[in-house]
Amino acid sequence: MFCRLFIFVQEAFSPLLANPLIHPPPAMRSPAASFSHTTSIHSDHPFRALREAANCSVPAACEQLGNPMAETIHLREAVRDVHDFPKPGIVFKDITPILGNSALFKDSIKLLAETAGDTTIDKVVGIDARGFIFASAVADRLNAGFVPIRKKGKLPSTTREAAYELEYGEAIVEIHEDAIKDGENILLIDDLLATGGTAAAALHLLDGLGANIINVSFLIELTFLEGRTKLGARPISSLISY
Ligand code: AMP
């Protein structure tokens, strides 16, 4: 019953509704679930070693095995599950413990920046709202510009918009139509990939502006929701997966 992507660009849409917050099935709720990094299809990628790693949940053991999963386990351990937020039945992946720790925040920015590989990035695009936190810092690190994709009604100049279906209703995201030049190298970042509707809508906007998508990068991916199947044949990375 989750979002079937239904994107279209037009002038008027129904009112903006809140993003869906996804409730993992019970089997996926345990914090003791083994760690596995999600795949990236980027070919010449510094994350290649990460995506080749096997399950690994103890940093010391990972290192002994030469498994670079240890590189992000400390981030995973810092993510806090908040049950029944913002409404009953939802398990919210709270990233504020990462943001509030200078070493963890720095590491998350470093690792997200590395998902660009060796390619020079012109613009890092962040998705409203937690995506902004990471994307702006990554943009600074990569000496790139930062572009926000916002919920409807927040951007002041001329926009393009894309709508996508939520569990109940529809959401709309917007981008300034002059934010991206044709052919620019883009790194798209959000905090979390769930059903993929939000990121797919963002990609639709970027495609429409002629963006060259170098990578789509998430701090967290809820793999059991298979959100990346909505993103097409894109290079996709996530630092933490459930
Ligand atoms: P989706 O469009 O289903 O992929 O949802 C992704 C967006 O919703 C991201 O911007 C997340 O911030 C937010 N989101 C969805 N599920 C959760 C969750 N369980 N915990 C925290 N944020 C979530």
The ligand 1 atom at the shortest distance from the C-alpha of residue 95 is 21
Question: If you take atom 5 of ligand 1, which residue's CA is the nearest one?
Answer: 194
CA of 84 to the centre of ligand 1 (A): 14
Which pLDDT belongs to residue 169?
78
Please spell the DSSP secondary structure of 183-207, one letter per residue.
T-EEEEEEEEESSSHHHHHHHHHHH
State whether the beta carbon of 130 lies less than 6 angstroms from ligand 1.
yes
- Which residue is catalytic, options 76, 130, 160, 228? 130
State whether the beta carbon of 189 lies less than 6 angstroms from ligand 1.
no
**Model-level pTM?**
0.78
- Give the residue, out of 22, 90, 92, 236, with the most ligand 1 atoms within 8 A of its beta carbon, to mutate for a pocket test: 22
State whether the beta carbon of 190 lies less than 6 angstroms from ligand 1.
yes
State whether the beta carbon of 42 lies less than 6 angstroms from ligand 1.
no
Which pLDDT belongs to residue 87?
86
Which pLDDT belongs to residue 90?
86
130 classed as catalytic: yes
167 classed as catalytic: yes
CA dihedral 12, 2, 215, 176 (to 10 degrees): 10
Which pLDDT belongs to residue 19?
40
What is the C-alpha separation between 194 and 229, in angstroms, rounded?
11
Q: What is the mean pLDDT of each run of 10 residues along the chain (242 residues)?
A: 39 34 36 26 32 39 49 95 92 97 98 98 98 98 98 98 86 98 98 97 98 98 96 96 94
Residue 176's SS3 state is strand
Sorted by where each starts, the structural domains of the chain and their CATH numbers stand as 2-25+42-241 (3.40.50.2020)
Which pLDDT belongs to residue 64?
46
What's at 61, amino acid-wise? A
CA of 192 to the centre of ligand 1 (A): 5
Which pLDDT belongs to residue 166?
80
Residue pair 201/3 in contact by the 8 Å Cβ criterion: no
Which pLDDT belongs to residue 123?
98
